[in-house]
């Protein structure tokens, strides 16, 4: 747990008692800081009270006697409508902050690597953490992914905190300084929370706040908003290092055809043999992780070794089994077309398990990649709509549920024996019609695939 004893003598209210809010409350209480907690859910309030936390509705506090509201990142505080407690705190001139800001105010000795962007944050966070660990560096990883930041261990000057940072979290930071700030990419997301793309980008840009001379900003420049962000950082106090995959020459780190090249050192790493980093989107993750770790001072050989041994993440193009040369891949985390696009682009011959609770765009944006699909197996309530999209373009079967779809895909793949074929669960849909969340859906796929006759278990995955 992070030591917040430097905050003694101050008073905080914590609103939202999920993972990050509870971690903040525990850390403040352990440091003997005056803290009250609240959640709009009565069950969570009761659980917090049973663990010795004092309850108080922050909307009704006398905010002149309190120093800040610690808000869980999922609770709106500006757009589209601020939570009444956030409004009350701000009306009294008090800051609304998050758990990441409390980490920053603890003045940690360890360096901080912050990772943001729309896609690939979790993979890049895990990948950087893996490279550091394999190189013998003390590190903790978490934030938006994994443990809450205030559950980190106190690390010394030789340690590194690797933080995945969402736009919601970055809106709530004031004093966080990232020794290395990584910006992967931008596509429109969370517009309902930020109002428009400009608001979303502005929230993300806080990852670069407070950087100083000697700090490094790693920026992927393969989309328009990211190129504009890089241009805005040029000439700033830190060092700007740009990353591109298949783009124009001139970036500090580039990947062409799966080969990573560092223009500053001339170093080259072939990413193509790394089975847990398939596809151009993972090459971007790898290039940004390389740049971040090199900025931290790791030798190139150590980074290359870490990349080669990366075990991957569950539910993100996770290789779970092989049967007679056919690879079975769990990409349950792909809950929209944009995420599934990355998986379809990574393989040439696909038996595709797709469907669930559909998003507004459906699978229409994926049509340019339909040529990679040998057969689609439709599951869930999206089946009728997806059948209309696929009609006349690729063959499909209405399978209904995941177990049936996997069995049908398995039998067809084994019968046809196509070269380098994969059976891919990449639903492009939420799971809620048949499963409580994407994790349970992916766990079921993994269990079913590993139970197939002749299955060889694979471990690790990619995202």
Structure tokens at 411: 């039998």
- Determine whether the annotation assigns residue 43 to a binding site: no
Residue 112 near residue 291 (C-beta atoms within 8 A): no
Structure tokens at 378: 């439709």
Q: Give the DSSP H or E segment for 410.
A: helix 402-416
- Determine whether the annotation assigns residue 118 to a binding site: yes
Structure tokens at 1: 């747990």
Handedness of CA 59, 61, 64, 66 (dihedral sign): negative
The DSSP-derived string for 214-246 is: T-EEEEE-SSHHHHHHHHHHTTSSSEEEEEEES
Residues 392, 397, 401: CA angle, nearest 5 degrees:
140
Strands (E), 119-245: 139-143, 160-164, 180-183, 216-220, 239-245
CA-to-CA dists, residue 392 to 370, 374, 385, 412, 428, angstroms:
11, 13, 14, 20, 20
- Determine whether the annotation assigns residue 297 to a binding site: no
- Determine whether the annotation assigns residue 120 to a binding site: yes
Q: Which of 146, 148, 102 is nearest to 124 (CA)?
A: 146
Residue 122 CA to residue 38 CA, distance in Å, equals 29
Which contacts of 257-265 are long-range, i.e. CB under 8 A and separated by 24 or more positions?
Answer: 258/283, 260/286, 260/287, 260/290, 262/290, 262/294, 262/300, 265/294, 265/300
Handedness of CA 339, 358, 427, 392 (dihedral sign): negative
- Determine whether the annotation assigns residue 119 to a binding site: yes
CA-to-CA dists, residue 133 to 145, 268, 293, angstroms:
17, 22, 11
Residue 202 CA to residue 79 CA, distance in Å, equals 13
Sheet of strand 180-183: strand arrangement: 139-143, 160-164, 111-116, 180-183, 216-220, 239-245, 253-256, 259-262, 268-270
Residue 217 CA to residue 280 CA, distance in Å, equals 21
- Determine whether the annotation assigns residue 220 to a binding site: no
- Determine whether the annotation assigns residue 117 to a binding site: yes
Query: What residues are designated binding site?
Result: 117-123
Q: Which residues are annotated as part of the binding site for ATP?
A: 117-123
């Amino acid at each position: 747990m992070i030591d917040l004893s430097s905050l003694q003598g101050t008073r905080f209210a914590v609103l939202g008692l999920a993972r990050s809010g509870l971690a903040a409350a525990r850390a403040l209480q352990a440091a003997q800081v005056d803290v009250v907690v609240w959640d709009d859910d009565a069950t969570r309030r009761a659980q917090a009270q049973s663990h010795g936390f004092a309850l108080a509705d922050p909307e009704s506090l006398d905010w002149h006697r309190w120093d800040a509201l610690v808000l869980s990142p999922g609770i709106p505080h500006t757009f589209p409508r601020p939570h009444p407690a956030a409004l009350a705190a701000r009306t009294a001139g008090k800051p609304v902050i998050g758990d990441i800001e409390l980490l920053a105010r603890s003045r940690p000795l360890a360096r901080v690597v912050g990772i943001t962007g729309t896609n690939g944050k979790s993979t890049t966070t895990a990948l950087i953490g893996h490279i550091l660990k394999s190189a013998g560096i003390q590190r903790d990883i978490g934030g938006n992914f994994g443990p809450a930041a205030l559950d980190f261990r106190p690390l010394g000057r030789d340690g590194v905190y690797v933080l995945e940072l969402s736009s919601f979290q970055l809106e709530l930071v004031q004093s966080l300084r990232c020794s290395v700030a990584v910006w992967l990419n931008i596509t429109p997301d969370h517009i309902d929370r930020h109002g428009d793309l400009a608001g979303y980008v502005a929230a993300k840009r806080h990852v670069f706040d407070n950087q100083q001379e000697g700090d490094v900003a790693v920026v992927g420049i393969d989309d328009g908003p990211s190129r504009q962000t890089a241009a805005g950082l040029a000439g700033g106090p830190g060092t700007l290092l740009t990353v591109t995959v298949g783009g124009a020459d001139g970036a500090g780190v580039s990947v062409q055809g799966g080969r990573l090249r560092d223009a500053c050192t001339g170093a080259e790493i072939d990413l193509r043999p790394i089975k847990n980093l398939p596809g151009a989107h993972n090459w971007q993750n790898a290039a940004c992780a390389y740049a971040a770790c090199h900025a931290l001072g790791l030798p190139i050989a150590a980074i290359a070794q870490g990349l080669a041994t990366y075990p991957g993440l569950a539910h993100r193009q996770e290789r779970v089994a092989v049967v007679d040369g056919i690879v079975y891949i769990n990409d349950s985390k792909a809950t929209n077309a944009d995420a599934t696009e990355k998986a379809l682009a990574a393989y040439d011959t696909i038996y595709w398990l797709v469907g669930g609770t559909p998003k507004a765009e459906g699978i229409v944006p994926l049509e340019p990649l339909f040529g990679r699909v040998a057969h689609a197996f439709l599951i869930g309530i999206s089946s009728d709509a997806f059948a209309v999209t696929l009609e006349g373009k690729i063959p499909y079967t209405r399978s209904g549920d995941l177990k049936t779809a996997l069995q049908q895909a398995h039998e067809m793949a084994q019968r046809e024996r196509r070269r380098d074929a994969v059976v891919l669960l990449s639903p492009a849909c939420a799971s809620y019609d048949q499963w409580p969340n994407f994790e349970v859906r992916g766990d079921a796929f993994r269990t079913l695939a590993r139970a197939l006759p002749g299955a060889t278990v694979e471990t690790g995955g990619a995202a």
